[in-house]
A and B are shown apart, each in its own frame.
Chain A
Amino acid sequence: MLYNILIDPFVQMVELPDLFVQVLWEGTVAGVLYALIALGFVLIFKASGVFNFAQGIMVVFAALTLVGLHEAGVPALLALALTVAVMYALAWSIERIVLRPLVNQPDIILFMATFGITYLIIGLGEFIFGGRPKTMITDQLLLPRGAIDVQMLGGRVTFQKLDIAAAVIAGLMVVVLAVFFQSTRIGRALRAVADSHKAALSVGISLNQIWVIVWFTAGLVALVTGVMWGARSDVSFALQIIALKALPVLILGGFTSVPGAIVGGLVIGIGEKIGEFYWGPLVGGGIESWLAYLIALVFLLFRPQGLFGDKIIERI
């Protein structure tokens, strides 16, 4: 028994390295997508201190809008542009209708408000697009299909082209966001707002404008996530539960750290797949759905601020 748990999986990894690489790759792709979802949370949490429960449903809503527009006869790329506009309109409305009247309210009030937003968007989405699952317009968006087989390590490893595209696009997105935060005027303002609302106001940064930008950026991240995830399964409201996967990622990476979201996403993604593949059979499989939470729980016990989060020191 102990041999099966402690030694056998590693023996397998070494004996069949091609299989191990395959599992690693699957984990990386899943991890990249987790990281994207977590990134949406981190952006909003950093800038406004709000834990946005609606991030998951924003992923679904963005994907539904895209597919829905295409079904209505709009060319794919135009539909994509229109979806971006819709996400902007959503960010603007949320700032106007929800955030602005609630400014200076306790965090829990804003958190509850994002629950409200979630159910409003679910209702709105079902009303406009219907509750039926849809297929992502992968080909029309010029995303590649098929797979590449690579001979390596005495075996064959399969890379789905779509997964490669997802990893590349997610990577690009992260780089663009990093540049955006580091070296643009708005990025500097965003970091300032994340640090101190009072000081930001005193140098003439408009909080309202920043919130619209942040929610819009989170909307764009949601759109990319929605397209990528939708292409792997299909587009339905069930997708929003992947947002729950972001929770362990955030606990691992810290709620305020962009690199944390990425590393956390990868750790959870890869950990899940490896756990499922090598240790899953010992308990009859199904590890994947709860292992992430277990890892998060362990982290909460020993490092509650996450890998990269700000250390929480409170004066009492």
Chain B
Amino acid sequence: MTAAGGRRIGDVLLKVENISLAFGGVRALSEVSFDIRAHEIRAIIGPNGAGKSSLLNVINGFYHPQQGTITFKDIARTNIGPYDAASRGIARTFQNIALFRGMSTLDNIMTGRLLKMKVPFFWQLLRYGPAMREEVEHRRFVERIIEFLEIEDIRKVPVGRLPYGLQKRVELGRALAMEPELLLLDEPMAGMNVEEKEDMCRFILDVNDEFGTTIALIEHDMGVVMDISDRVVVLDYGRKIADGTPEEVKANRDVIDAYLGVKH
């Protein structure tokens, strides 16, 4: 199966099997199973409170499910920590932006390189030799991301001062700096105007196309979802109710009921 841009959808990169997650008596996820293939754009949709964010939090190790397995790059686990997830190539953004507000755009994106910096501490303190070379090398990479996201002019601005749409973009930049294999985007377009949405769509498609990054995204804008995703999984009340191509999902009776509401 080939999609636009000639990228090839590969084998299964991440497989989630029978995940159940409860907070006390509240069941956030019930026996959810789905997979994400390499290089695809996978959308997760569903009404509010359907468990979409919980699912992302399980994948990147913020929540520990009571049951089920997560297989990432052929290694199956029930529980992973956020550190494991990040170091094995899972990056993410948040629904309510989580940036380092006091730090500049550049510094924020540089934090995405932290796991890749290896020079011993002593050299860094001296800002000399290997440490300087390493810093320059990562800085160069970060500059490419800044250029890619077209945020050159806000490089030195503390992100707390940026407008909402740009903050979302910086957050994407920080995730990209990790050179992730799997990128999780939690409502990347929420609260944006049409123009900002179009920009964001373009960035997501370009990331997917140019770097081959696999993307899983939660989004409420159905137009966007249907346009950019290869496959869609639909959640409702913590259960998976549909899974397939945008066309299949759109035609699915349960999905229409979940969104429009139906008397049972």
A and B pair up: yes
Query: In the complex, what residues of B have CB within 8 A of residue A188's CB?
Result: 107, 110-111, 114
List the one stretch of B70-78, B95-103, B140-148, B202-210 in contact with chain A: B95-103
Q: How far is the CB of B236 from chain A (nearest CB, A)?
A: 26
Q: At the interface, yes or no: B125 with Cβ under 8 Å from chain A?
A: yes
Q: How far is A198 from B127 in the complex, measured between Cα atoms in Å?
A: 29
Pair B127/A192 contact, Cβ less than 8 Å: no
Taken residue by residue from 166 to 203, chain A's Cβ proximity to chain B (1 for < 8 Å, 0 otherwise) reads as 00000000001001100111101101101110111111
Query: In the complex, what residues of B have CB within 8 A of residue A189's CB?
Result: 111, 114
Partner of A195, one of B87, B100, B117, B175: B100
From residue 56 to 102 of chain B, which have CB atoms closer than 8 A to chain A?
A: 60, 62, 82-83, 85-87, 91-92, 94, 98-102
Whose C-beta in chain B lies nearest to the C-beta of A256?
B102
Q: How far is the CB of A310 from chain B (nearest CB, A)?
A: 8
Q: How far is A310 from B101 in the complex, measured between Cα atoms in Å?
A: 12
Given contacts A179-B125, A179-B127, A184-B124, contact A202 B98 (CB under 8 A): yes
Q: At the interface, yes or no: A297 with Cβ under 8 Å from chain B?
A: no
Pair B124/A183 contact, Cβ less than 8 Å: yes
15 contacts between A and B (CB under 8 A): A180-B125, A184-B125, A186-B121, A189-B114, A192-B111, A198-B94, A199-B98, A199-B174, A200-B111, A202-B82, A203-B91, A203-B111, A203-B178, A205-B114, A206-B83
Query: In the complex, what residues of A have CB within 8 A of residue B238's CB?
Result: none
Q: At the interface, yes or no: A204 with Cβ under 8 Å from chain B?
A: yes
Pair A198/B125 contact, Cβ less than 8 Å: no
Q: At the interface, yes or no: B194 with Cβ under 8 Å from chain A?
A: no
Interface residues of B (CB under 8 A from A): 60, 62, 82-83, 85-87, 91-92, 94, 98-103, 107, 110-112, 114-115, 117, 119, 121, 124-125, 127, 131, 135, 174-175, 178
Q: How far is the CB of A272 from chain B (nearest CB, A)?
A: 32
Q: How far is the CB of B173 from chain A (nearest CB, A)?
A: 12
Partner of A176, one of B60, B107, B125: B125
Query: In the complex, what residues of A have CB within 8 A of residue B114's CB?
Result: 185, 188-189, 192, 203-205
Given contacts A185-B124, A188-B114, A196-B98, contact A202 B91 (CB under 8 A): yes
Q: How far is the CB of A192 from chain B (nearest CB, A)?
A: 5
Partner of A202, one of B94, B101, B125, B127: B94
Q: How far is the CB of B55 from chain A (nearest CB, A)?
A: 15
Whose C-beta in chain B lies nearest to the C-beta of A189?
B114
Q: How far is A198 from B121 in the complex, measured between Cα atoms in Å?
A: 25
Pair A204/B124 contact, Cβ less than 8 Å: no
Q: How far is the CB of A51 from chain B (nearest CB, A)?
A: 20
Query: In the complex, what residues of A have CB within 8 A of residue B92's CB?
Result: 202
Q: How far is A205 from B91 in the complex, measured between Cα atoms in Å?
A: 12
Interface residues of A (CB under 8 A from B): 176, 179-180, 183-186, 188-189, 191-192, 194-196, 198-206, 310
Whose C-beta in chain B lies nearest to the C-beta of A197?
B98
Q: How far is A202 from B92 in the complex, measured between Cα atoms in Å?
A: 7
Query: In the complex, what residues of A have CB within 8 A of residue B99's CB?
Result: 195-196, 199
Q: How far is A312 from B110 in the complex, measured between Cα atoms in Å?
A: 27
Given contacts A179-B127, A184-B125, A185-B124, contact A205 B111 (CB under 8 A): yes
Given contacts A176-B125, A184-B124, contact A203 B102 (CB under 8 A): no
Q: How far is the CB of B186 from chain A (nearest CB, A)?
A: 10
Q: How far is the CB of B62 from chain A (nearest CB, A)?
A: 7
Partner of B86, one of A183, A196, A202: A202
Pair A204/B115 contact, Cβ less than 8 Å: yes
Partner of A184, one of B86, B101, B103, B121: B121
Query: In the complex, what residues of A have CB within 8 A of residue B86's CB?
Result: 201-204
Whose C-beta in chain A lies nearest to the C-beta of B131?
A184
Q: How far is A177 from B120 in the complex, measured between Cα atoms in Å?
A: 17
Q: How far is the CB of B162 from chain A (nearest CB, A)?
A: 14
Query: In the complex, what residues of B have CB within 8 A of residue A198's CB?
Result: 62, 94, 98
Query: In the complex, what residues of A have CB within 8 A of residue B131's CB?
Result: 184
Given contacts A185-B124, A189-B114, contact A204 B103 (CB under 8 A): no
Q: How far is A185 from B60 in the complex, measured between Cα atoms in Å?
A: 23
Query: In the complex, what residues of A have CB within 8 A of residue B135's CB?
Result: 183
Q: How far is A201 from B92 in the complex, measured between Cα atoms in Å?
A: 10
Q: How far is A200 from B112 in the complex, measured between Cα atoms in Å?
A: 9
Q: How far is A204 from B62 in the complex, measured between Cα atoms in Å?
A: 11
Whose C-beta in chain A lies nearest to the C-beta of B100?
A195
Whose C-beta in chain B lies nearest to the C-beta of A176?
B125
Pair A191/B60 contact, Cβ less than 8 Å: no
Best-buried of B86, B114, B135 by chain A (most CB within 10 Å) = B114
Pair A191/B100 contact, Cβ less than 8 Å: yes
Q: How far is the CB of A103 from chain B (nearest CB, A)?
A: 12
Pair B102/A201 contact, Cβ less than 8 Å: no
Query: In the complex, what residues of A have CB within 8 A of residue B102's CB?
Result: 191, 194-195, 310
Pair B82/A195 contact, Cβ less than 8 Å: no
Q: How far is the CB of B140 from chain A (nearest CB, A)?
A: 16
